[in-house]
Amino acid sequence: TGDPAAAALPSGRTSDPTVASLLQDISTIGTDTFRGGYSRPVFSTAETDLRGWFVEQAGRRGLDVHTDQNGIIWAWWDTAARTRKDAVVTGSHLDSVPGGGGYDGPLGVASALIAVDLLKARGLRPRRPLAIAVFPEEEGSRFGVACLGSRLLTGSLDPDKARRLKDPDGNTYADVAAANGQDPRLIGADYATLQQLGVFVELHVEQGRGLADLDQPVAIGSSILGHGRWKLSISGQGNHAGTTLMRDRRDPMVAAAKIMVSIRDTARKYRDARATVGRVQPVPGGTNVIASRVDLWIDARHPDDSVTAALVEAIGLNAQVFAAEEGCTAAMTMESLSPTVHFDGGLRSRLQELLPAAPVLATGAGHDAGVLGPHLPTAMIFVRNPTGISHSPEELVEDWDAEAGALALADSLAGLAGD
Ligand code: GLV
Ligand code: MN
Ligand code: MN
Ligand code: MN
């Protein structure tokens, strides 16, 4: 064809792009041969490459692209859209958890690009401005605070605190943002942009078995489970593995093991609660060294925020007891907290009119749509994941479901922004 962009594709493909082909184009970026799946931490080479890919794809579609002071990429339908209010915005994120799947985030971004293609092919002339947004550090995998970009945008995270956040190598967010061409002095609440946004609709891979069990490709989101992260530091006495008698030890690893079992058992006492320890870091971390300290991170979730608070308090009290049993001490600090979010009822009803076959599902996963929720009507569209597994290489979306998702997104955007 005469389309140079299509001819330039690495696969040599010249047909119209699809969600699957877009995901195929980025399938080699950020693969993790050690963990399996993808590791695409924010501002890593991989995530930066993905952002570059998105900017290029948006440019091909004639969108007006810019990256704001908080690292959010905006791709407006046209230059006129860029300054108008009541915008209809879709999008998601390109960063991943360590060893994550290929869909959590990128599916929403690729679907947004294909939805734009579908709307352009239909000759849509949007009545309201349309845009795609790509948010940085949705997973909080590098700096510990999930949805960092949307939290900065909405002013729900103190920029001073954000600047001081450190990644596991000790680099501050301020330094990493600066190395990525941003001015860290300018991060923080961006009410001018926020006031432009009319609605936000995030398409996302479903992260459970809801749609697989219902035998449906696409659902509309109802709510996001309240969730938070806490860091627990257990301190003991670092010592020699060979010369220290078992009775003489104050070993924080042993305390951590007891505490982790007690976290599981405590969470089981609260109906609908979830508590996870997914990351443990012994200091200094040597095979022949009794650790001096163990840091572990707790992810706790419950639909009722007061239950989450009670659960975390119980976890903290138990941690004191089990630490003391091993001659250690324990100190817990909150890293982030997101209350349960119920998506806007009016917007959800509108999506139900536009997507009459789609069931309505809640999710236990956090999303930028949840952080934006208190500021403007937000909604989510979930796409079937036949494995029901997420934050793992086994996360899956079948090609035909991905296209059904993009079509549902296009229909939703057309219904919201069209005439
Ligand atoms: C992000 O995906 C989260 O829910 O932790
Ligand atoms: Mn996600
Ligand atoms: Mn995720
Ligand atoms: Mn998420």
- Read off the pLDDT of residues 263-310 as tens digits, 9 standing for 90 and up: 999 999 999 999 999 999 999 999 999 999 999 999 999 999 999 999
What stretch(es) of the chain map to CATH 3.30.70.360?
Answer: 227-338
146 Cβ inside 6 Å of ligand 1: yes
**Which CATH architecture is the domain 4-225+340-417 placed in?**
3-Layer(aba) Sandwich (3.40)
Protein residues placing their CB within 5 Å of the ion ligand 3:
104
The stretches in the chain having pLDDT less than 70 are 1-14, 419
The CA 26 to ligand 3 mean position distance, Å, reads: 18
User: Which ligand minimizes its atom distance to the CA of 363?
Assistant: 1
Pick the closest to residue 361 from 218, 227, 228, 226 (CA basis): 218
pTM value is 0.94
Binding-site residues from annotation for Zn(2+): 93, 104, 139, 204, 391
Which atom of ligand 1 lies closest to the CA of 207? 2
Report pLDDT digits (tens) over 333-359.
999 999 999 999 999 999 999 999 999
pLDDT of residue 350: 98
Q: Evaluate whether the domain defined by 227-338 bears CATH number 3.30.70.360.
A: yes
**Ligand 1 in reach of 139 Cβ (< 6 A):** yes
> If you measure from the C-alpha of residue 141 to the centroid of ligand 3, how many angstroms do you get, rounded to a whole number?
9
Centroid of ligand 1 to alpha carbon of 382 (angstroms): 14
User: Does the beta carbon of 365 sit less than 6 angstroms from any atom of ligand 1?
Assistant: yes
Assess: ipTM above 0.85: yes
What does the pLDDT read at residue 15? 83
Closest ligand 1 atom number to CA of residue 365: 4
pLDDT at residue 13 in the model: 56
CA–centroid distance, residue 337 to ligand 2 (Å): 17
Sequence ranges of the chain with CATH classification 3.40.630.10: 4-225+340-417
Angle at 218 between CA 85 and CA 42, to 5 degrees: 60
